[in-house]
Amino acid sequence: DSGVTQTPKHLITATGQRVTLRCSPRSGDLSVYWYQQSLDQGLQFLIQYYNGEERAKGNILERFSAQQFPDLHSELNLSSLELGDSALYFCASSRRGDIQYFGAGTRLSVL
């Protein structure tokens, strides 16, 4: 168990809908990272937050947004969903910034 908790484990929704994925980092970790994993694109970095502030952005679509709250949990919001957004979404956290600890992921299916 990595200590990173992601909910929900599975999410099935329809095109055009909006969903929220939640992540609780390991106790004491200030950095949270979001990744998308799909068969064709592999594991893609989306965005990083450090102690509530956005620190780095990757290949995150404008339809996607994230935030980190004062209690350090983070949420990834995906809106106007398309079939191609179906993927595994991972959250990871780190303390010193080098080693990242991953959650079990949320599997999103857009029908």
Where do contacts with another protein occur on this chain (CB under 8 A)?
2, 4, 30-31, 33, 35, 42-43, 45, 48, 50, 55-56, 58, 88, 90, 92, 94, 97-105, 107
Query: Using CA atoms, how far apart are residues 86 and 54, in angstroms rounded to an integer?
Result: 24
Q: Tell me whether residue 61 or residue 79 sits nearer to another protein (CB atom).
A: 61
Tell me the backbone φ, ψ of residue 51, rounded to 5 degrees. Answer: 50, 45
Smallest gap from residue 16 Cβ to another protein (A) = 26
Query: Using CA atoms, how far apart are residues 26 and 7, in angstroms rounded to an integer?
Result: 14
Give the pair of three-digit tokens for residue 24.
């609780």
Q: Tell me whether residue 27 or residue 96 sits nearer to another protein (CB atom).
A: 96
